[in-house]
Every structure is written in structure tokens, then in C-alpha cells.
Amino acid sequence: MSKSVIVVGTGNAALCAALAALESGARVTLLEKADKSLSGGNTKYTAGAMRFAYDGADDLLPLLRNPEDPRVKRADFGSYTTEKFANDLLGFNDGRPLSEEQEALVHQSGATLRWLASHGVKFEPIYSRQSFEKDGRHVFWGGLTLAAENEGVGLFDMELAAVERLGGTVRYSSAVTGLVTDAGRVCGVQIGQERLLADAVILACGGFEANGALRVKHMGENWEAAKVRGTPHNTGDGLLMALELGAADYGLYSGCHATPMDLHMADFGNLDLPPGERKNYRKISYFLGVMLNAHGARFVDEGANFRNYTYAQYGAAILEQPGQFA
């Protein structure tokens, strides 16, 4: 009898976990808090951009939906070696060495993309943001070379299709509210009053960024006012459930990727905007000028590096300013 696996969530992590479990012969049910339209979590809001190590064009061609695109022949993809990837990550580590997870990311990212491609998840070069034209060629830079076809929604659609092809099923509007244990071992989940048992439970239900109280608790008062660029559903449920059972705290709760965003955007992202426009809430042209706070003072070096290397930090810098805007 095959093992049964419950996966909580339907974002990239959940769908990849489900695929891996299905590949090894398990029966898999994914449980999603959101209704069908908001399933897929933050994954759907992304550009689907994939940072992974590769040695050259030969590593990329098998990942492309359309390797025959004439632009591919005129592209100079360069390379993004494991050494370069590791160095880029170290630049964000405040002096800490790479963690075990970062090492795995660096060394297994290429193989993971090939594994996804083997399940029909395909990618395309990010011509618009990550390349420039020189002597008739598209020259790529910065290690962020491919994105999922049709961005995050495409990533979700292709992964979900792969999961369903292998027999996985999804239940929407099914928020997991607790873990069921037997002799100290997790053996299922609670969905309100309903109890669902399984041989294994995988929590892949996001972080706590959409939970204002947890943001303040772990990151400080400044973060009350932060807006969330993605789903309203990532309220830390999985983390809280695991911690309640005695799981060890692990990871960097006080740090995050935080981008300068429109002061007047809604509290959460908006999937109703077309994919290319979903990013319009971002305010990331600061490197072309200066950013001033309410006192008319600059507070970061706007040109410290290429925007790709600064924008995820400058959201936090803005939250530290008087009135929390710039």
C-alpha cells in the first residue's frame, strides 16, 4: 500500500514537495487555505525569475520552452557559476558564512531546474530586465537569466498540471488549523472540526509576512505599516502549529526581502492586474536619482550597486524614516 502524504499549501514549495512525493509513489493531497482564485500563494505574484547556477548556454537550452526562438541564437547568456552565486549570497549575510540551506541552494539549484523542466515546467530568458543589446547580441548579466513562462502564474499552472498528471489532488478553501499527533508523532491535520490522517504531513504554507502582529513581534514596531506584495493568506499558520508542538525555532525571523512600494497601494498584492503590471506597485527607479525622507535628507546610497543588489534592502531603510515614506 502506498504511503499517504498531506501537503499544506499550493505555492512553489508545496507543489515541488508534492511532485517529489508523487514521484516516489505516494498518494498526495494538497490542502489550500485560499479559494481557487487566490491559491498558489506568493508564487503567483512573482515574476517567476529563477536564480540558479549554470556554466553556459548548454545548461540553459533544455530548460527553455522555445529554444528555437531566433533571439536565443543571438544571446550571450554567459555563466553564473556556483562560486559567483555563493559570493552574491555572502554579500547579504552580514559576515555570516553560508548556511546549510544556502549551500544546498547554490549547489542543487541547477539540478532542481532540470528536474522541474523534466516535469514540463519551462522557462524563458528575461530579455527585458536582465539583458542589454550589444553588437546585435542580447548580453545577460546578474545571474538572473531565466523566468518561468508566463511568470509566477505560469510557474503555478505548469507545476499544478504536473502534480495533477501524476495523480495529486488539491482541496481549496481548506485552511489547516492544527496538527494531529499520535504518541508524539504527527499523523494528520485538523481543518476546523475535520480531521484528516496521513503517513506524512509537509508544511509548505508560507511565512508570516501577512500577519501584522507577528511582524511586530519578530521584526519590530516599524513593520506594522509594511504592505505585503503578495497573498493575504501567509499568516504564519504552519510555523505556529509546528512551534506549538515543540519544533525548534530556526532561521532568520528578523530579516526579510522588503522592496520600496507605492505608499498608496492596498495592503496586499493584486492578482487581477495583468502579469507585467503586477509589479507596478514597486518603486525601484531610485538608482536613477536620489530618495529623500520627510526632512529632505538622503538616507541610503541609491547607487551603491546595481538595483538587483539593493532593492530588497531599501524597503526596510524607508520604514526607518520619519513617517515611513520617501
Q: For binding to ligand FAD (CB under 6 A), which residues are involved?
A: 8-14, 31-34, 39-43, 45-49, 175-176, 204-206, 229-231, 233-234, 237, 269
- Our CB check for ligand FAD shows the closer of 135 and 249 to be 249
Other CB atoms within a 10 A radius of the CB of residue 21 amount to 23
- Min. distance of Cβ 286 from ligand FAD in angstroms? 18
Give the residue closest to ligand FAD by C-beta. Answer: 11
Give me the sheet containing 200-203, strands edge to edge: 169-171, 27-31, 4-8, 200-203
Q: Closest approach of Cβ 117 to ligand FAD, in Å?
A: 16
* Closer residue to ligand FAD (CB): 137 or 227: 227
In this complex, which beta carbon is closest to ligand FAD, that of residue 15 or of residue 75? 15
Least Å from the CB of residue 207 to ligand FAD: 7
Q: How far is the CB of 246 from ligand FAD (least distance, A)?
A: 19
DSSP, collapsed to helix, strand or coil, labels residue 41 as: helix
Q: Which is it for strands 75-76 and 137-140: parallel, antiparallel or unpaired?
A: parallel
Let me know the angle formed at the C-alpha of 54 by 51 and 55, rounded to the nearest 5 degrees.
150
Q: Scanning the structure block, which residue is given the C-alpha cell 531546474? A: 113
Cα gap 94→285, rounded to integer Å: 25
CB–CB of 47/152 below 8 Å?
A: yes
Q: Name the minimum Å distance from CB 257 to ligand FAD.
A: 7
- Closest CB to ligand FAD among 61 and 273? 273
Q: Which is nearer to ligand FAD, 138 or 233 (CB)?
A: 233
Cα(315)–Cα(215) distance, rounded to whole angstroms? 14
Residue (34 or 300) nearer to ligand FAD, CB: 34
Residue 18 CB, nearest approach to ligand FAD (Å)? 11
Alpha helices in the chain (DSSP H): 12-23, 57-60, 70-73, 82-90, 100-118, 127-130, 151-165, 212-219, 237-244, 275-278, 311-319
